[in-house]
Amino acid sequence: MKLTGPFTQILPLDGLPLKGTLGDEQLSIIPNGGVLTEDGIILGIGDFDQLRKANPSAQNEEITGPQVLLPGFVDCHTHICFGGNRAKDYSMRIAGKTYLEIANAGGGIWDTVTQTRKATEQELTETLIQRANRHLNEGLTTIEVKSGYGLSVQDELKQLRAIKAASAQTKAKLIPTCLAAHMVPNDFSGSQEEYLILVLNELLPKIKNEQLSNRVDIFIEQSAISADNALNYLTKAKALGFDVTVHADQFTMGGSKVAVEVGAVSADHLEASGEAEIKLLAESDTVAVALPGASLGLGMNYPPARKLLDAGACLAFASDWNPGSAPMGDLLMQAAVMSAAEKLSAAEVFAGLTYRAAAALKINNRGILSPGMVADMQSYPCADYREILYYQGKMKPVAVWTGGNKA
Ligand SMILES: [Zn+2]
């Protein structure tokens, strides 16, 4: 048994609603707090001195100086398993070149597919571990990782095997997702429907057999997969036992409607969502996921986060860390910057980075600090939690724990 503390403040993010608006006055704050853990699980949380007295045999992990403790953040949407980079694309985009001009110059998703196919499984594993560990050091203890740069049975399996191998070599918890339906690959001669049938018949059963993932994602967009084909694909993927999630309403509407109809765990992006989409999401169990890193990378508007919360939706944030549109990957900075534009409370931001993001991954033992939960935690070098967003993501945690141990 171990007692960690005393922390100047602990924000357990406990006892808060899954959906809708949150005010900072709803946050419970434990001053002079401690956390009692055993075998990686939280046994108790509360006043440090009382925990000390009640558990004299517990080993003490002493915290010195002002520190604020939060649950580890959950990044519920990333594409950090890839080869190469797209700095050339990015320079063209910021200089004002269009999507088509960039694609014609050999850029876009297909460029990353080409570079990811060239990489060995070992190379993909090693670069993924580096990115996951960078994230972990910045307080992100759970990280979803998508495939989607293989786009053939063999190369999608290579990516998912790399994610599985990396998972065993990082202290961050990695959640793999199959995004073979990212786009129809340029070298596939058949139709969109035929490509999705190939994925359903040839790839998803192998993923099940090898236990590589239980989640399936799709990019619904005029330039990627149509809403009709997506509905059919996701319905069949669900019947095979997969949880489904959707890249929805990034440039045009249509994706979030499919997500709600099929009962997706989350609908991510939503930059183009209108009033009808907001209402649909708010009335559903589908988590709305904002990806401010994509808005920053593309120079586009943010999703309507304030309206989603006011309508009663469950809103989470994720980095969308990827080599094309969101290369920064700094989720706290992105959420902090977006909160000023969208008028979000600190409570709404922290909820969206912790337990609400965990809900988007159907994880129920992380994202809150309370007895029975996994002790994934992070502490910041300040005396008041409000300083964390005040520094707009520049202040990083001084310590990060996964399963009760310092990472
Ligand atoms: Zn994405």
The Å distance, Cα 320 to ligand 1 centre, comes to 5
List Cα–Cα distances, 291 to 222, 287, 334, in angstroms. 19, 13, 8
Q: Cβ(66)–Cβ(83) under 8 Å?
A: no
In this prediction, residue 223 carries a pLDDT of: 86
pLDDT tens-digit series, residues 1-48? 999 999 999 999 999 999 999 999 999 999 999 999 999 999 999 999
Residue 221: pLDDT band with limits 50, 70, 90: very high
The Å distance, Cα 325 to ligand 1 centre, comes to 9
Q: What is the DSSP letter of 169?
A: T
| pTM higher than 0.75 | yes
Q: Cβ(270)–Cβ(304) under 8 Å?
A: yes
Q: Cβ(190)–Cβ(213) under 8 Å?
A: no
d(CA 146, CA 130): 16
DSSP 109-155: HHHHHHHHHHS-HHHHHHHHHHHHHHHHHTTEEEEEEE--S--SHHH
Task: Tell me the percentage of the chain whose pLDDT exceeds 70.
Answer: 100
The Å distance, Cα 179 to ligand 1 centre, comes to 9
d(CA 337, CA 382): 19
Q: Cβ(303)–Cβ(282) under 8 Å?
A: no
In this prediction, residue 104 carries a pLDDT of: 85
Amino acid type, 143: I
The Å distance, Cα 33 to ligand 1 centre, comes to 37
pLDDT tens-digit series, residues 71-101? 999 999 999 999 999 999 999 999 999 878 8
The Å distance, Cα 66 to ligand 1 centre, comes to 37
